[in-house]
């Protein structure tokens, strides 16, 4: 199995504007995994993975971070995408960015 490295521009060109589901699907296809194999790797059912990839379901931030850790995706990007998906679902015209700068001790 060969891992293909692609950037956000390539993902958006092939799948449309980046969402959590589109990133997840792009990663799965880049790893050349079936939905069944990817679902097993994530500890999900195939239907749950399909719902996430298609955008029918948006995971909680905690669940999205767990998924990111299991497949090696950047947590701050995943958090940003999930928050943006939630905002877009509510049809609110706001763009989200996430700053992963660590908190300073008080």
Per residue in 55-98, pLDDT (tens digit) is 999 999 999 999 999 999 999 999 999 999 999 999 999 998 88
| Domains in the chain, number | 1
Residue range of the domain that includes 31: 8-89
Per-residue pLDDT at 17: 86
CATH number at residue 84: 1.10.260.40
What is the DSSP secondary structure assignment for residue 98, as one 8-state letter? -
Q: Answer positive or negative: Cα dihedral of 10, 18, 82, 93.
A: positive
pLDDT > 90 in the chain, percent? 73
26 belongs to a structural domain = yes
Assess if residue 94 is contained within a domain: no
Residue 47, domain member (yes or no): yes
Residue 101 lies in a domain: no
The verdict on residue 49 lying in a domain is yes
Confidence of residue 29 (pLDDT cuts 50, 70, 90): very high
| Torsion of Cα atoms, 13 then 28 then 58 then 70, to 10° | -130
Whether the pLDDT of residue 11 is over 90: the answer is no
Q: What share of the chain is helix, strand, coil (3-state, %, to 5)?
A: 60, 0, 40
The answer to the question of residue 102 being in a domain is no
Residue 21 resides in a domain: yes
């Amino acid at each position: 199995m060969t891992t293909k490295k692609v950037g956000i521009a390539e993902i958006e060109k092939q799948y449309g504007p980046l969402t959590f589901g589109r990133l997840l699907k792009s990663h799965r296809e880049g790893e050349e995994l079936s939905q069944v194999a990817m679902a097993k790797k994530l500890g999900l059912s195939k239907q749950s993975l399909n719902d996430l990839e298609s955008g029918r379901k948006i995971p909680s931030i905690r669940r999205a971070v767990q998924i990111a850790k299991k497949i090696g995706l950047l947590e701050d990007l995943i958090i940003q995408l999930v928050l943006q998906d939630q905002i877009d679902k509510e049809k609110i015209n706001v763009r989200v960015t996430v700053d992963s700068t660590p908190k300073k001790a008080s």
